[in-house]
Chain A
Amino acid sequence: MAILVVADHDNRTLAARTLNTLAAARAIGGEIHLLVAGHQCDSVAQQASLVDGITKVLLAQNPALEHQLAENVSLLVAELGKQYSHILASTSTDARNMMPRVAAILDVDQVSDIIRVECDDTFVRPVYAGNAIATVQSSAPIKVITVRSTGFDPVAGEGGNAPVETVTSIHDAGVSCFVSAELARSDRPDLTAADIVVSGGRGMGNGENFAMLYRVADKLGAAVGASRAAVDAGYVANDMQVGQTGKIVAPDLYMAVGISGAIQHLAGMKDSKVIVAINKDEEAPIFQIADYGLIADLFDALPELESKL
């Protein structure tokens, strides 16, 4: 039986993390169908059809799917999913919100947040905020799985030419509706997809000081993140939080500035290839995992970095 992968998108663009989810599907093995569920999202289906290694794209479009409301999308995915051995999605907030609903409708256990595929029924996932790594075997007839993007290298976004098949069934549970969204607009790269991430912590002192971090990030073409302490203190918005309960990142370079290195922050970034820590407290736990540590006052180091990069 084939694998159904649910695409992440905003009705305009296919999210890069879908390519990581597809890599997990490929590791499981078998025919892969990619579902694009949304509204007025032909352009997403178009991009999806170009992705390497997909047999077909399923396109479901109607107003009830516009905002990815879990009540509606889960009914569609569960209906389609009955024909598949595996249903995969990413760990985006949309997918994490929707997939357990699919699993419950299909009456199967879900495996969350896998970082490795051992074989078609055995998966590796972090537990206890990444302080332990569990290998889990599933005997469920349909395996409902969410995939942590950083565990899998993305498949190629082009080179394919899959046909697009239209799904006509319409599901509207009619119990929830979208009111509004306040989405951060940024010209910087997406935090979870960036090659370089520069993050600030409580040491930044206030929100205005993050401007220094933005200037360094722009020199590097980097995304900007933050620790939970900085978000809780109101310096920056929640969507910048890196950590166990925020975003999980694994860029080529992660620069932690004024971040002490609480376990829950480390859980979100310790798989980065190279970690730099800048902190004036030489006892900060972040130095225990940093490849390059600079003991310095960030208010001196950041302007110097900006001028010398």
Chain B
Amino acid sequence: MKILVAVKRVIDYNVKVRVKPDHSDVDLTNVKMAINPFCEIAVEEAVRLKEKGIANEIVAVTIGAEACQEQLRTALALGADRGVLVQTDEPPGSLAVAKLLKAIVDEEKPDLILLGKQAIDSDNGQTGQMLAALTGFPQGTYASEVTVSDGKVNVTREVDGGLQTLSLDLPAVVTTDLRLNEPRYAALPNIMKAKRKPIVMKTPADLSIIVSSTLTTLKVEPPTQRQAGIKVTSVDELIDKLRHEAKVI
């Protein structure tokens, strides 16, 4: 079985996000970038499926500027076999990304496509589902368990009320939630080995896709800050404040 895993380069999750003074966007100058945490979980799941002998090849794909090669190398160091970078200047929106991924799916013909459930920059949570719609594949989003057998994949999903399990025909699209697995750290020899694994560069034109968007960001502002309130010294004082000052109980 062949797995395609999509990864995104985003601001490192430990970095405090700052809005630019002109409110045009967040400030990404000289900020540490990393692989999106949910995408890392997707790579880990692909590697585990290969280690179990269920998958025999893992292709990692990303879309964006040349610097995104770093995140492909991370995926290769974790265990992906080869990489594809579709080069674009501006990071495209979710629908454009889904169209580019669909073109890669048409070329690679994977049996299973793994993505993160959302990227921690745009927080859109759209790409996996859009890719599933464009390919006509079934989808298992917010996965906390993935089991492949007999041409189908069973996906247990984290839903509002608890857990739900679906059975999907392959090929299928699966997006990962936090508790699917705990990604490993890439060992140094694997990081070295990853440098020799192949990465193919493509452009949207190679894939006959025109990247466009109907969305325009007019401004980006910092959120209103909440002020720290007061410290109470006892449970009695807390109950009194909640009853008579805040009037919420």
Of the candidates B93, B123, B177, B218, the one whose C-beta lies within 8 Å of that of A128 is: B123
Contact with B along A66-107 (1 / 0, CB 8 A): 010111001000000000000000001110111111111101
Q: Check A183–B162 contact: CB distance below 8 A.
A: yes
Bound form: Cα–Cα A273–B241 in Å: 14
Contact with A along B114-140 (1 / 0, CB 8 A): 000110111111111111111011110
| Number of interface residues, chain A, beta carbon within 8 A | 86
Interface residues of A in 104-161 (CB under 8 A from B): 104-105, 107-113, 122, 126-140
Contacts of A177 on B, CB cut-off 8 Å? 166-167
Given A175-B137, A196-B248, A228 and B17 touching (CB < 8 A)?
no
Contacts of B93 on A, CB cut-off 8 Å? 109
Bound form: Cα–Cα A130–B222 in Å: 9
Contacts of B221 on A, CB cut-off 8 Å? 132-135
Bound form: Cα–Cα A237–B26 in Å: 34
Contacts of A27 on B, CB cut-off 8 Å? none
Asked whether A181 is an interface residue with its Cβ less than 8 Å from the other chain, the reply is yes
Contacts of A99 on B, CB cut-off 8 Å? 129
Q: Check A109–B164 contact: CB distance below 8 A.
A: no
* Least CB distance, B65 to chain A, in whole angstroms: 19
Asked whether B163 is an interface residue with its Cβ less than 8 Å from the other chain, the reply is yes
Asked whether B109 is an interface residue with its Cβ less than 8 Å from the other chain, the reply is no
Q: Give the interface SS of chain A, mostly helix, strand, loop or mixed.
A: mixed
Given A181-B165, A232-B178, A111 and B238 touching (CB < 8 A)?
no
Q: Check B17–A128 contact: CB distance below 8 A.
A: yes
Given A100-B125, A132-B220, A109 and B231 touching (CB < 8 A)?
no
Of the candidates B154, B163, B169, the one whose C-beta lies within 8 Å of that of A238 is: B163
Of the candidates B167, B178, B242, the one whose C-beta lies within 8 Å of that of A292 is: B242
Asked whether B223 is an interface residue with its Cβ less than 8 Å from the other chain, the reply is yes
Bound form: Cα–Cα A231–B242 in Å: 28
Contact with B along A184-220 (1 / 0, CB 8 A): 1000000010001000000000000000000000001
* Least CB distance, A124 to chain B, in whole angstroms: 9
Given A108-B95, A109-B95, A238-B162, A131 and B249 touching (CB < 8 A)?
no
Given A177-B166, A179-B165, A245 and B177 touching (CB < 8 A)?
yes
Q: Check B144–A238 contact: CB distance below 8 A.
A: yes
Contacts of A165 on B, CB cut-off 8 Å? none
Given A110-B126, A292-B230, A294-B231, A100 and B223 touching (CB < 8 A)?
no
* Least CB distance, B113 to chain A, in whole angstroms: 14
Asked whether B200 is an interface residue with its Cβ less than 8 Å from the other chain, the reply is no
Given A104-B134, A110-B126, A308 and B179 touching (CB < 8 A)?
no
Interface residues of B in 26-67 (CB under 8 A from A): 26
Asked whether B187 is an interface residue with its Cβ less than 8 Å from the other chain, the reply is no
A residues touching B (Cβ–Cβ < 8 Å)?
A: 67, 69-71, 74, 92-94, 96-105, 107-113, 122, 126-140, 173, 175-184, 192, 196, 220, 228, 231-232, 237-239, 244-245, 247, 252-253, 270, 273-276, 287-296, 301, 304-305, 308-309
User: What are 29 A-to-B residue pairs whose CB atoms are below 8 Å?
Assistant: A93-B141, A93-B158, A105-B133, A109-B213, A110-B126, A112-B123, A127-B121, A128-B26, A129-B120, A133-B221, A134-B217, A134-B220, A134-B221, A135-B217, A138-B214, A175-B136, A181-B165, A238-B179, A239-B158, A244-B123, A245-B118, A253-B246, A253-B248, A253-B249, A288-B226, A292-B246, A293-B228, A294-B234, A305-B238
B residues touching A (Cβ–Cβ < 8 Å)?
A: 11, 16-17, 19, 26, 93-95, 98, 117-118, 120-134, 136-139, 141-142, 144, 154, 157-169, 172, 177-179, 213-223, 226, 228-236, 238-239, 241-242, 246, 248-249
